[in-house]
Amino acid sequence: MAKIGFIGLGIMGAPMAVNLIKGGHELFAYTRGDFPKSVKEAGATVCSNGTEVTRQADIIITMVPDTPHVEDALFSEDGVAAGLTAGKIVVDMSSISPVATKGFAERIVKLGCEYLDAPVSGGEVGAKAGSLTIMVGGKQEAFDKVKPLFELMGKNITLVGGYGDGQITKVANQIIVALTIEAVGEALLLASKAGADAGKVREALMGGFANSRILEVHGERMVKRTFDPGFRIELHQKDLNLALTTARQLGVALPNTATAQELFNTCAAHGGAEQDHSAMVRALEIMANYEIGQ
Ligand code: NAD
């Protein structure tokens, strides 16, 4: 049984924390905003800041929205770093900048501790089911120590490489997801405008080479017009921003990622920032002046 610290109990963090407690571990937790009932009822010890969490735990997990939130959770006056003693392990499971991650790892390692970046894919459903995909960067030894905890939260768990490599893998994931949503959106929109039933088109394609989880799940949302999140457009905009910023730093052109980001920007401008990312199809529909199933 490990003593685990958990910081950030939102859509993803709360069910992940519950799965760790169900796995028999002692959990000390802090979040901004309301402390979720589900985590309290599971038996977590409620702490008033990150330092208090860290003093009581050996492995400290962060699951907050973006790079500045991780920096704040780790390095603010009452944050994680202020409570660290040598030998503890900090595990950031948020999706944030791969470049900033290397800096955070360096600062934590200087304190005699270890750092893993371990962002996830699989959404709220995967977080609840303990079936997330977890992409890890850091040292093998730290990974081996934390792996039993990852196994309570996820299924496909890979140590990709050094610090930041987990985050760059997640960025790669988000590029593929965005561009596939765009492809499915274009395909269903065209088929529908041509007079075919978009639902039937999706069904027909699901058996073939164009099949994907995104055709199945997001394609269905486009046909049924159910855009409640899921994964919010504003979070995907954050991830594509990480992709485009990193690409600029490395001198790599990502033309279709840039286009996908413009489509998300269009959705946000039309009030859709909090809709599911499958609603990217609405930007295509605005350009076509036609809605799937119209
Ligand atoms: P969320 O906004 O629901 O939850 C984040 C929580 O962190 C909130 O409760 C917030 O109050 C808290 N928080 C923010 N700053 C804090 C701080 N400094 N100290 C303590 N708590 C703080 O977000 P989420 O959907 O749970 O996403 C978390 C991360 O996981 C993001 O990086 C996101 O991109 C990634 N992610 C989300 C999904 C998804 O489907 N929602 C899927 C994969 C990855």
Residue located nearest, by CA, to atom 12 of ligand 1: 8
Q: Which atom of ligand 1 is nearest to the CA of 33?
A: 11
Q: How close is the Cα of 292 to the center of ligand 1, in Å?
A: 32
C-alpha to C-alpha distance for 138 and 34, rounded to whole angstroms: 32
Q: What is the pTM of this model?
A: 0.94
Q: How close is the Cα of 187 to the center of ligand 1, in Å?
A: 32
Is position 145 annotated as part of the catalytic site? Answer: no
For residue 230, the model assigns a pLDDT of 83
Using most ligand atoms within 8 A of CB, pick from 16, 19, 32, 62 the residue to mutate for ligand 1. Answer: 32
Q: How close is the Cα of 286 to the center of ligand 1, in Å?
A: 30
For residue 176, the model assigns a pLDDT of 98
Residues within 6 Å of ligand 1 by CB: 7-13, 30-33, 63-65, 69, 72-73, 94-95, 120-121, 123-124, 231, 235
Using most ligand atoms within 8 A of CB, pick from 12, 176, 237 the residue to mutate for ligand 1. Answer: 12
C-alpha to C-alpha distance for 128 and 290, rounded to whole angstroms: 37
For residue 179, the model assigns a pLDDT of 98
For residue 252, the model assigns a pLDDT of 98
CA distances from 159 to 75, 93, 117, 140, 258 (A): 25, 13, 10, 8, 29
Q: How close is the Cα of 69 to the center of ligand 1, in Å?
A: 9
Active-site residue, from 40, 102, 110, 170: 170
Chunk the chain into consecutive blocks of 10 residues (it has 294) and report each block's average pLDDT, rounded to whole numbers: 96 97 98 98 98 98 97 98 98 96 98 98 94 98 98 98 98 98 98 98 97 96 95 95 95 98 98 98 98 96
Q: Which atom of ligand 1 is nearest to the CA of 9?
A: 9
Using most ligand atoms within 8 A of CB, pick from 235, 238, 239, 277 the residue to mutate for ligand 1. Answer: 235
For residue 1, the model assigns a pLDDT of 86
